[in-house]
Structure 1
Amino acid sequence: MRLAGGPIGERLPEFDGIDLNEAESVRALAAWFLASVIHRSQRWLAVHEADRLKNRLAVWSANVGVPVEHYDSQALATFEEVLGVAWLWVKEDRVPKTFQQALSSYGVTQPRLVAEVTDFHAVPEIAAAVQSFVMSREAVPGIYVYFDVGGGTVDGVAFNYLNFRGERRINFYSGKVEPLGVSAIGTALSKGTSAEIDAATLEGLLKTCAPSALAEFVQRIRKLVGHVVMTARLKDGRNWQEDAFQSTDYERKFIGKLSASRMRPLIVFMGGGGSKSEWYKSSIESTYKAFQHNNAGVPPYKLVEVPRPKDFIVPKGGADEFIRFAISYGLSFPFGEGPDIGLPSQFGEAQKPRQWTPPSAVDYADSKDAYC
């Protein structure tokens, strides 16, 4: 979020006379963190997967998830620069030992990126999260929504999944990320205490907080949901309220709007560690009624988890919860092997259908000169 220009929480302090809030400091810290993760991962694999690397020269690559809103903005260039610097540090085995070293080394390494080719890629985060879904045989083309509830943020997107004879594509119509994650809200409610805040802790804080504070957070969640859903609705242009129970035995006895109970629901995927929270679920679901989405041509929401792929291996000692690893699973695919991606900026609002006019009607703009 700081790389994208939208920091969460209070300003960072100074360290050894260096302002950590400056853009150069933020980039150096991010690159240092990523390089350290990659370096430690390589060392871990060298020890625990030694048989796979025996008599082989490892060719490394890496992907990192970026919110769709940031991926489809000028912030992407910043992310790619940071990834490139981190990759060169690891490639040359020159990961800095201190922050001061990272800051000075960043300035020296960054100009070299023009002549270097890195195999460290930014990937739309939710594209990685739905990788297991779009690659499954059960995936049906259509409109879907995804909300990833993390520690710091809630990242929401709406996308159109297409499948042209096995050629899969995800067209993202909308994307929005806000600092409304579990830790972000929990820290605000607990007034900055250092206690670790998870979904269960947050539920307790929400039950004891002031009603006005609770209402404010619910409204912010709803605004996020409303933006994601309605932006996609305006861009898609099709009728989303389709009858899910069409049959020869059923005959509509009236002309008018389709009953909500008969509509094919809008599938809303929930992911991230905070997606188990009932408060987040109810806040998202309540948007439909609160914002009158039925009158806007949107079918009722149906909240579901992303299906677990058959080849997913539960981490040793970890809970069997794929929702916490959906993005990591998608990022494990080599860059370019996933479905093609369309970004929100590539899609404008769909043209509204022309209103019916009687055949005998004459457009004044076409005939005004005849009556001068």
Structure 2
Amino acid sequence: MGKKNKKKIQSFQQANSASMRSHDFTVFELAFLKADVMKRHGKVDNQISPASTTGAVITTKTPDAVNKQFSPPPKQPFPASAPLKERTISSPPIITKKDMDIARPQTTKVLPHIPKPATPTLRKSPLMKLRLKPLQHESFNLDATTLQHEANNDDKLIKPKKDLDVDGRSQVYERDPKNEIDIVLGFDFGTSSSKIVIRDSGRQTAYAIPFGSLACSGNSYLIPTKIFISDDGTLSLSPAQHSFGNLKIHLMDSPEKIIFSAQNTSVTINAAELAAAYMALVIRRARYWFLKQMKLIYKDTHIYWHVNLGIPSRNYDDQKIRQTFQSIAMAAWRISRIDSIINIEEVKKYLKEVANHPASKEEILNSNADEDLWLHPDYVTTHPEVIMEVVGYAHSPLRINGLHMLVDVGATTLDTATFLIRSDLGEDVFTLLATKVERYGTMELHKHRVQALKNSMQECLSHIINIDPTLPLPDTTHYEHQVAKNDLSQNDSIFFKECRSNIGELIRHTKEARDPNSAAWAAGLPVFICGGGARHPIYKDLIESLGSKIAESLTNFNEFSIKAIPKPQKLEAPELPHNEYDRLAVAYGLSFTSDEIGKVIPESKVSDIHREKKVNRFEERYVSKDMC
């Protein structure tokens, strides 16, 4: 830019600033003034008059002339009421981008429509009636199901918080579903660990549910049967202030038994409530995993959920226990539909509502109870664990009809049963002949050994203490404690003798009164050895050797034919260790619908078979002359 042009701009800016000292003109006023000045001098922007064509050009004028030419006239304020149309404008007003931004009305961004969930979810759990400590600080762990927190001593209600990695949804479709399907959740509620298998009856495919960081060591499909309670009443599968195991044992002994009492309050928790809370937490996590993994498959499908729960075969005849398990499973499903953290009061509430819920009344048969966050009682059933363990075998090519025996070695109990497998018009029929459930599991053996060790130590300590004060002090070897190995051996011998007697009595009763004419006695009784304890050599050897000993005392008995339960081809369990399918056998059998399982006849419905005893009398062997 030349020096002359710079001087022009400076002069123009000085003139404008001098004029605006007395009045601050707006952008529109300046535009109108400029138009009037241009009109008065007979000029338009970017145009030159005819008179100037023969004379000097504008650029030859002096700076004073230029300043005089573009200086605005004296200030003439516009009447406030004068309409704009009375002014003649030769050039439109110049409006800057800044002025346009100021004049532009503010607008809000339109967000895309987010569809509502397909099924209703409970975002806030009912307020607890118990006044507990509030949450002050929360640290979230993605592998945990609850919050770890610090609390103060203020007496306030806990507000339920949204769980981070699970929720209570039961469907995945986002619009009206086009299809329907029955899906069964098989829950194997074990004494030491639980397992869940979810099966699509339409696709004939089952999925073992892994539990990640919550799983038992060495097998991701097993979750400890243990629940934790925080001081604020929060229930969790992750470690907290209070932990409770033996949930199934407590439930079998007495559902109303008080297991936990909150400090400084009158709140108590019984065995049934702990079992329902545990089942709810496990069901919610399993269902969430399944829906997340299978979202694309079921995005246009409404799922009709079923829950099958296993119970000990001995209790299958007990209607009260079956009803208790069913009610707990129904309440557990309802509690599992809660999105937020589960607390004690909610468990109590829904257990009480089970009996009063409309779906449980026979006159209202609403099968689509999932819409109401509950399942219909027809969709929640109990089945004997022993029979469920062989459902996979019954559906396999290895199946043999007739008499079988199964021994399940668990952590606490030793379950033994004899049963028949047959078909009736295409339907599988399982007949329970004899069942026994005794506490001879692996942990019971451990307890017996520990007790034997205590007894031996007590005896040794008594020997160390009682010394003759008149004799010299014994040397240090006198104080060394040595547990006699024969004490532990003797303990094991007594323990396993009782085990053999328990199994032997069941076999003898079956052969003499339940099914004496079975061909399996002579061919070799098919026996399944299952459960976590079955991997212990001492249990396996005991059962296998028992067949030989029984054959020595029973006629027409040809030992045992040990069989393995085959892993089904349509069970998806990629992380399952080799040769450990039997740990999932009960859950897999429970994942079938009741129609697919078939008919189960309880032990009480089967009459004994009494063989005619041969009468060995002299009169029958005597041949008289009259008979000749």
Give the TM-score of the pair, scaled to structure 2. 0.46
Distance 2:262 2:487 in 1: 35
- The 8 Å contact of residues 35 and 95 in structure 1, kept in 2 or not, is answered as no
- Number of the residue aligned with 2:376: 117
Matches within 5 A, 1:194-343: 210-233=488-511, 234-238=513-517, 240=519, 263-288=522-547, 294-295=553-554, 297-316=556-575, 318-343=577-602
Report the residue type matching 1:98 in the other structure. Answer: N
Distance 2:261 2:448 in 1: 22
Select 2:391's aligned residue among 118, 131, 134.
131
Note the C-alpha offset of 1:70. Answer: 1.2
Report the residue type matching 1:88 in the other structure. Answer: R
Secondary structure of 1:210's partner?
A: helix
Note the C-alpha offset of 1:357. Answer: 7.8
Please state if 1:163 is matched with 2:385: no
- Number of the residue aligned with 2:352: 107
Please state if 1:54 is matched with 2:278: no
Note the C-alpha offset of 1:173. Answer: 0.2
More divergent stretch after superposition (349-358 vs 140-149): 349-358
Relative to 1, partners in 2 of residues 1:241 and 1:327: Cα closer, same or farther, differing over 3 Å?
closer
Note the C-alpha offset of 1:61. Answer: 1.5
Relative to 1, partners in 2 of residues 1:167 and 1:97: Cα closer, same or farther, differing over 3 Å?
closer
More divergent stretch after superposition (267-276 vs 107-116): 107-116
- Number of the residue aligned with 1:82: 328
Relative to 1, partners in 2 of residues 1:320 and 1:299: Cα closer, same or farther, differing over 3 Å?
closer
Distance 1:342 1:105 in 2: 32
- The 8 Å contact of residues 392 and 566 in structure 2, kept in 1 or not, is answered as yes
Where in structure 1 are there 5+ consecutive unaligned residues?
A: 192-206, 243-262, 362-372
Report the residue type matching 2:301 in the other structure. Answer: R
Relative to 1, partners in 2 of residues 1:57 and 1:164: Cα closer, same or farther, differing over 3 Å?
closer
Distance 2:557 2:416 in 1: 17
Matches within 5 A, 1:185-200: 185-190=445-450
Distance 1:288 1:210 in 2: 26
Distance 2:427 2:302 in 1: 33
- Number of the residue aligned with 1:202: none
- Number of the residue aligned with 1:178: 438
Note the C-alpha offset of 1:155. Answer: 1.4
Please state if 1:72 is matched with 2:350: no
Secondary structure of 1:59's partner?
A: strand
Select 1:142's aligned residue among 396, 402, 410.
402
Report the residue type matching 1:61 in the other structure. Answer: H
Relative to 1, partners in 2 of residues 1:292 and 1:79: Cα closer, same or farther, differing over 3 Å?
same
Distance 2:520 2:282 in 1: 46
- Counting aligned pairs with the same residue, the percent is 21
- Number of the residue aligned with 1:38: 283
Distance 1:107 1:167 in 2: 37
Please state if 1:2 is matched with 2:250: yes
Note the C-alpha offset of 1:36. Answer: 1.5
- Number of the residue aligned with 1:27: 272
Relative to 1, partners in 2 of residues 1:34 and 1:294: Cα closer, same or farther, differing over 3 Å?
same
Note the C-alpha offset of 1:158. Answer: 0.5
Distance 2:606 2:555 in 1: 20
Relative to 1, partners in 2 of residues 1:111 and 1:226: Cα closer, same or farther, differing over 3 Å?
farther
Secondary structure of 1:33's partner?
A: helix
Report the residue type matching 1:137 in the other structure. Answer: P
Distance 1:95 1:31 in 2: 16
- The 8 Å contact of residues 85 and 110 in structure 1, kept in 2 or not, is answered as no
- The 8 Å contact of residues 189 and 209 in structure 1, kept in 2 or not, is answered as no
Bigger fraction of residues in helix:
1
Report the residue type matching 2:352 in the other structure. Answer: G
- How much is the aligned-residue C-alpha RMSD, in angstroms? 3.3
Distance 1:71 1:19 in 2: 33
Distance 1:34 1:149 in 2: 23
**Higher-RCO chain (CA-CA 8 Å, sequence separation at least 6):** 1
Where in structure 2 are there 5+ consecutive unaligned residues?
A: 1-248, 362-374, 452-484, 621-628
Relative to 1, partners in 2 of residues 1:43 and 1:313: Cα closer, same or farther, differing over 3 Å?
closer
Note the C-alpha offset of 1:354. Answer: 4.9
Note the C-alpha offset of 1:286. Answer: 3.6
Distance 2:339 2:450 in 1: 40
Secondary structure of 2:597's partner?
A: coil
Give the TM-score of the pair, scaled to structure 1. 0.75
Note the C-alpha offset of 1:182. Answer: 2.2
Relative to 1, partners in 2 of residues 1:291 and 1:340: Cα closer, same or farther, differing over 3 Å?
same
Note the C-alpha offset of 1:6. Answer: 7.4
Note the C-alpha offset of 1:27. Answer: 0.8
- Number of the residue aligned with 1:196: none
- The 8 Å contact of residues 144 and 268 in structure 1, kept in 2 or not, is answered as yes
Distance 1:96 1:355 in 2: 69
Distance 1:351 1:298 in 2: 18
Report the residue type matching 1:89 in the other structure. Answer: I
Distance 1:27 1:85 in 2: 10
Note the C-alpha offset of 1:68. Answer: 0.9
Relative to 1, partners in 2 of residues 1:241 and 1:57: Cα closer, same or farther, differing over 3 Å?
closer
